Amino acid sequence: MIDLTQSFMFERLGGFLGNWGGWTVLLLPVIGGLVVGVILHNFVGEERHHGVAGIMEAVALYGGRLRYGRIPAKSVAAALAIGSGASVGPEDPSVQIGANLGSMFGQLSRLSDERVRALVAAGTAAGVSAAFNAPIAGVFFALEIVLGEISGSALGVVVLAAVISAAFTQAVSGAQPAFRVPAYELNSVWELLLYLGLGLLTGPIAAYYVKLLYWAQDLFHRLTLARWLKPALAGTAVGLIGIFLPQVFGVGYETIEKILGGEELALGLLIALLFAKLILTPISIGGGFPGGVFAPSLFLGAVAGMAYGLVMSRLFPSLQIDAPAFAMVGMAAVLAGAVHAPLTAVLLLFEMTNDYRIILPLMFAVVVSMILAQRLQADSVYTLGLARKGIRI
């Protein structure tokens, strides 16, 4: 659905609007925002918490009972958001569908709270597995973030759901990893110190990413504009910057793949993309576009890691540094710092790249990044919103 929407918006509608000039690309996220706003206003309405935070709240406080009747409208709105260029990730709608289906089955079958929670976790694992073709990361996401514990009663169904989801995804899309990367290896033990520096860089990026997400939500909440118009306002900001930096539109996987594949982007461009994505993702989500924070975290880590690697390669030419290796590690480091789930971050990167050769620098940078991010921002991207309303999970 996301691919079809993106194809229609940027190829068909974008091609039609392009007859009036290249500037008209800014209208695509505005139009998408208007449609998304209408759908959410008429078919979803107000919710206590959105996305993964809402699932966590339901699991912790309400026995995993979600309001599953809204999921079709949410799914369509999320596909339109990503397809029209909003700076959000694809995992949120996938996780929402899986978790709500699990909750629906449990409620209709009149199962106990414990079993409904297990089914919600299983649906969550299946959603992550489908979004990233990463079943192991899906399992740990459900256990680390949604359940908050490794429950023996839930483990079996969570693993089974992730495996079935991955098998179906691979049957439809193929078994290849999300990103194809050349072989990167640790050329010198001294490089570990450079990965320490990368962790010190990505930790603050992750922490301020979380802070900006909630700053933007507060900003849009204070606006007196009608709720259904707010996604269009956010889309205007995305479109204006997207005219000059089209890489910020949507998920950004194409840019990540170029970076990991060794295509050297200019240092100035990488820094511009870092700040643009760091601003536009909070604006997109704060403005009401439904979508995830995983994929933008990976984008931030890739551009920050690549920029850092380029600088280090110029400072220490004798070390023969592979800058894309720092981009790959940076992806997991920013993600771990934002969601406070190091195992999920490490395993997700492994499954998305199918590369296990830089495990030492990867784990080193992830741990440093998460510790520093927690010092700067105690709550994760998922728990901060709950904590500000007095809900501690």
Q: Model confidence over 330-389: pLDDT tens digits? A: 999 999 999 999 999 999 888 888 777 788 889 999 999 999 999 999 999 998 888 887
Query: What is the reported pTM?
Result: 0.92
Q: Are 329 and 199 in contact (CB under 8 A)?
A: no
CATH of span 2-173: 1.10.3080.10
Q: Are 251 and 5 in contact (CB under 8 A)?
A: no
Residue 49, SS3 per DSSP: coil
Contacts (Cβ under 8 Å, ≥6 apart) of 156: none
3-state per-residue secondary structure call for 349-375: HHHHHCCCCCHHHHHHHHHHHHHHHHH
Token readout for 232 is 């269009």
As a whole number of angstroms, the distance between CA 356 and CA 17 comes to 45
Residue 145 sits at the vertex; the CA angle it makes with 73 and 162, to the nearest 5 degrees, is 70
HSE-CB of 177 using CA atoms within 13 angstroms: 16
Residue-level pLDDT at 92:
82
> Which strand (E) or helix (H) includes residue 132?
helix 113-132
As a whole number of angstroms, the distance between CA 363 and CA 349 comes to 11
Q: Are 55 and 120 in contact (CB under 8 A)?
A: yes
Q: How far is CA 53 from CA 15, 59, 95, 120, 202, in A?
A: 38, 10, 11, 13, 23
Q: Model confidence over 25-56: pLDDT tens digits? A: 888 899 999 999 999 888 877 665 567 888 99
Q: Model confidence over 196-250: pLDDT tens digits? A: 999 999 999 999 999 999 999 999 999 989 999 999 999 999 999 999 999 999 8
Span 10-27, mean pLDDT?
Answer: 66
Residue 17 sits at the vertex; the CA angle it makes with 26 and 72, to the nearest 5 degrees, is 70
φ/ψ (deg, to 5) at 377: -150, 105
Q: Model confidence over 306-339: pLDDT tens digits? A: 999 999 999 988 888 889 999 999 999 999 999 9
Q: How far is CA 13 from CA 84, 214, 272, 274, 279, in A?
A: 10, 32, 27, 28, 26
**C-beta neighbour count of 139 within 10 angstroms:** 28
CATH 1.10.3080.10 residue ranges of the chain are 2-173, 191-388
CATH of span 191-388: 1.10.3080.10
**88-102, 145-159, 262-276: which range is least confident on average?**
145-159
Residue-level pLDDT at 99:
92
